[in-house]
Structure 1
Amino acid sequence: MAHHALVGTGGARAPRLGRSVGTSGAAPAVGGVVLVLPDGAPESARGPSPLARVAALPLARSLVRAGRSEGLVAHVVHYRSRGWNGADARLAQDAGWAASEVVRRYGDVPVCLAGHGMGARAALRAAGHTAVDSVLALAPWLPEDDVAARPEPVKQLVGRRVLIVHGTNDARTDPELSYRLAERAKKANRDTCRFEVHTDGHALRQHHGEVLALAADFVLGALFGRPFSRPVADALAAPPPLGLRMPLAAGFRRALR
């Protein structure tokens, strides 16, 4: 995938980074960047969804609060449009552009791509960018298995730490598809794990606090070398299926305090 700037022509939209999230006042030098990729749609020429962008902000703010002492910065990526649009893989292209823009702005800092739904698919697909250190994929939207279709690639995940989180009651994106992707990814990259949030749906609202705590634990460990919590360390070390069906236990957030 090319990672050059995607400049709009003839009035067409161009991707951009939103303002840095939660960085008002004095802050240490930038030590790492999280690019938060909102949800999208399989096919659409409409502009990016403001609602999806707003829904991405709690994750960005939570991560910045947890990583402020390390100089963590978060940006929500503004896509050119909300559609993946088949082979165009537009959201993944925009994620790649955003990683290049981070390098231009901040220099050689580690980058985590953190996405939800279609944004999670974009994060996984764009992980091959040289600046990307890790991927957080929440309830990733993935295409149904199709013998005639090319499977989602996983080679771009080699050398990255990868965490997939999926609710078992997700009615929009089949959690079994993310498990199958995680199985293939684990064969190419042992630093892959997956957590299941039992009884939760696509938005992961029922156990929102636990999901945010898990995300922060993973991102700060991946970007800054903080020790992972025991569940994350065990999930990364365990062979399939154990490390790919790790339950996110109630009380995970309290256990980290």
Structure 2
Amino acid sequence: MTTGPARTTGPGSDGQRVPHRALVVHRGPDTPRAAVLLLHGGRADGPGPPPRLNLPALRMRPFGSAMSRALRGREVLLASVRYRCRGWNGPRADAASDARQALDELAARAADIPVVLVGHSMGGRAALLTGGHPAVRGIVALAPWCPPDEPVAHLRDRTLVLLHDADDRVTDAEGSWLLADRARQAGARAHTVAMPRGGHAMLRGARHWHRLTVDLVAALLDGTPLPEAADGVRPA
């Protein structure tokens, strides 16, 4: 996979290029035993940096807040990925490159802890593409962008759950179902949930999205059975 240009950001106070830091830690216990990494959405194309008012990032905040409340009292690190670019940008796959860098930074900060990725839309695609990273235990993909030719062999022995509303008009739920089927054939423990509402923005029925995501993450971290909603009835 092509990673694009050197991983730097704008100039610092001394005029030198500042290395890009992809990992943003929101909740960092002294000795974390696990981690959750959030990946927000973006655009198919957009080589410029995300805007200051970044709606896809704001959309993930309620998930982060729900996760933080659920993890209270547990030694779980909560972080998100900072993207260099607003878009995926074709073969460069910039969001996936940043996700991999964030995972490497996380491993350097807290080695040998299991990580669960939670990604929405473009962030769901980035999570699925980087899910073969040694630190990743599981993936929760929310209305993910799943092109038909996306690789899945690297997801062998990983647990992934794809949540999608069939009425999503931005990303195709059928793409999620097909990717899950292919990943299962490749040796992944792939599950799907047909969400009853929410569209792409996950605003209608938002509490259901938040609660189910938290429950799925907790099960993945603990190695316990997934909620019964996983592999829910798909639309005909």
TM-score by length of 1: 0.79
- Does the Cα contact within 8 Å between 1:179 and 1:244 map onto a contact in 2? no
Question: Counterpart of 1:173?
Answer: 171
1:46 equivalent to 2:52? Answer no
Q: Which runs of 5+ in 1 are unaligned?
A: 146-150, 236-242, 247-257
Name the Cα RMSD after superposition.
Answer: 2.4
SS of aligned partner of 2:73 = helix
Question: Counterpart of 1:18?
Answer: 24
Question: Counterpart of 1:95?
Answer: 99
Determine the C-alpha separation between the residues in 1 that align with 2:48 and 2:173.
Answer: 27
Give the drift of 1:227. 4.3
Q: For 1:106-145, what aligned pairs fall within 5 Å after superposition?
A: 106-143=110-147, 145=148
- Does the Cα contact within 8 Å between 1:116 and 1:139 map onto a contact in 2? yes
Determine the C-alpha separation between the residues in 2 that align with 1:244 and 1:159.
Answer: 24
Deviating more after overlay: 180-189 vs 220-229: 220-229
Give the drift of 1:225. 2.4
Runs of 4+ in 1 over 4 A off after TM superposition: 9-13
Q: Which runs of 5+ in 2 are unaligned?
A: 12-16
- Does the Cα contact within 8 Å between 1:38 and 1:118 map onto a contact in 2? yes
Q: CA-to-partner distance for each residue in 1:65-89, whole Å, 9 max, x for gaps? A: 2123331221121111111111111
Q: Which is strand-richer, 1 or 2? A: 2
SS of aligned partner of 1:230 = coil
Identity percentage of aligned residues: 35
Give the drift of 1:224. 2.0
SS of aligned partner of 2:38 = strand
SS of aligned partner of 1:55 = helix
- Does the Cα contact within 8 Å between 1:158 and 1:188 map onto a contact in 2? yes
- Does the Cα contact within 8 Å between 2:160 and 2:188 map onto a contact in 1? no
The count of aligned residue pairs is 225
TM-score by length of 2: 0.86
1:207 equivalent to 2:211? Answer no
Q: Which is helix-richer, 1 or 2? A: 1
Determine the C-alpha separation between the residues in 2 that align with 1:125 and 1:77.
Answer: 14
SS of aligned partner of 2:131 = helix
Determine the C-alpha separation between the residues in 2 that align with 1:115 and 1:162.
Answer: 11
Determine the C-alpha separation between the residues in 2 that align with 1:203 and 1:89.
Answer: 22
Question: Counterpart of 1:198?
Answer: 196
Q: CA-to-partner distance for each residue in 1:170-211, whole Å, 9 max, x for gaps? A: 011111111111111121135110101124300111121111
1:245 equivalent to 2:227? Answer no
Give the drift of 1:9. 6.9
In the alignment, which of 47, 57, 63 is matched to residue 61 of structure 2?
A: 57
Q: For 1:56-95, what aligned pairs fall within 5 Å after superposition?
A: 56-95=60-99
